[in-house]
Amino acid sequence: MRAHDFSLPALRLNLNGLVEVLSPTHLYHWDIDSFGAHKQDMNMASIDEFENHVWKDVIPPDDLRLYAPYARQTFVGPSPAFLAIDLYNSAYRGGPRLPVDLDREFPNSCGIYAHRAIEPTKRLFAAARRARLQTFYCTQETRPLNRPHGAYSTRRDLASPISAAELYGIYHEFSPHPSDVVITKQRASVFQGTPFLSHLNLLGIRSLIICGESTSGCVRASAVDAYSNGFHVTIVEECTYDRAELTHKVNLFDLHHKYCDVMHLDEVVQHLDGLAEQRLAPVAE
């Protein structure tokens, strides 16, 4: 069916020199405002579901009314890449317990919140790889002579008995593939002091699908930078976490209204499976 759409010979270049094709594929090259009659072809989340997210139980009704004008359909943007933020060992140390009970022995572990996200994140990785998205990871820079004293992601200066390389290695469930790119950073945002932005431009990436931690730290800083640099951003709710629930929820609320589309795992996986199917479509003769 998609394959059939695909054989339609309807092509031309749009104002930005991007191929325009009258098929769902083509939507990836249109500005959201120019979707017109093609909207129904996309996996977009209904405007009625705009506030159907994890923050529902903490945002006061008056604040939801105040933010009502931000309501819109949410979607995965054109030419997406997949970004997994700070899925390093340190976030999982101590197992699925409350961070407050782990912090003394395992500082900065996300404990239960990290472990709760493992299965959903494995589903997301599988879908992103089926759709052959370029996958980026980021983690802390740990090599020698890499920074002067004081250049840290946050004001918390951690001393640790175990090696930084071990703390900041990617968690075994999400090991990088040879075609992936791992960005090492010294600050919260994956854009700050790294070549990430130039890589996105080089590859023609126009939007990001983001998962990882922490919602209020590296995820928020990276997502705001991505939006402000001109990219569409989708954050996968079930695959994003923090060390405290209120902070997690209020930050997702801020991001969803101001900068990003917070979407549910099922919505994003459905969209990625659509891309995967198209990419497997045989080339017509």
Q: Which of residues 67-86 bind its own copies (CB under 8 A)?
A: 67, 69-70, 72, 78-81
- Per CB under 8 A, 221 contacts its own copies: yes
Residues 98-127 binding its own copies (CB under 8 A) are 98-100, 103, 107
Other CB atoms closer than 10 Å to residue 176's CB: what's the count? 15
Judged by CB under 8 A, the stretch of 89-97, 113-121, 217-225, 262-270 that binds its own copies is 217-225
Given the DSSP bridges, would you call strands 261-263 and 232-241 parallel, antiparallel or unpaired? parallel
- Per CB under 8 A, 159 contacts its own copies: no
- Per CB under 8 A, 181 contacts its own copies: yes
- Which residue, 86 or 225, has its beta carbon nearer to its own copies? 225
The candidate with the shortest Cα–Cα distance to 57, out of 242, 262, 243, 246, is: 246
Q: Can you say whether the dihedral through the CA atoms of 226, 136, 241, 265 is positive or negative?
A: positive
The candidate with the shortest Cα–Cα distance to 157, out of 149, 145, 165, is: 149
Contact flags string 22-61 toward its own copies, x per CB under 8 A = xxxxx-xx-xxx----x--x----------------xxx-
- Which residue, 19 or 162, has its beta carbon nearer to its own copies? 19
Dist. CA 76–CA 232, nearest whole Å: 8
With CB under 8 A as the rule, give the number of residues binding its own copies: 120
Contact flags string 248-277 toward its own copies, x per CB under 8 A = --xx-xx--xxxx--------------x--
- Per CB under 8 A, 12 contacts its own copies: yes
Dist. CA 182–CA 180, nearest whole Å: 7
DSSP code, position 57: G
Binding its own copies by CB under 8 A: which of 91, 206, 236, 237?
A: 206
Dist. CA 142–CA 182, nearest whole Å: 13
Residues 124-153 binding its own copies (CB under 8 A) are 131-134, 141, 143, 145-151
- Per CB under 8 A, 63 contacts its own copies: yes
- Could you write out the DSSP letters of every residue in 9-49? --EEE-TTS-EEESSHHHHTTS-GGG-GGGGGGS--B-GGG
- Which residue, 119 or 163, has its beta carbon nearer to its own copies? 163
Cα R_g (the chain), whole angstroms: 20
- Per CB under 8 A, 161 contacts its own copies: no
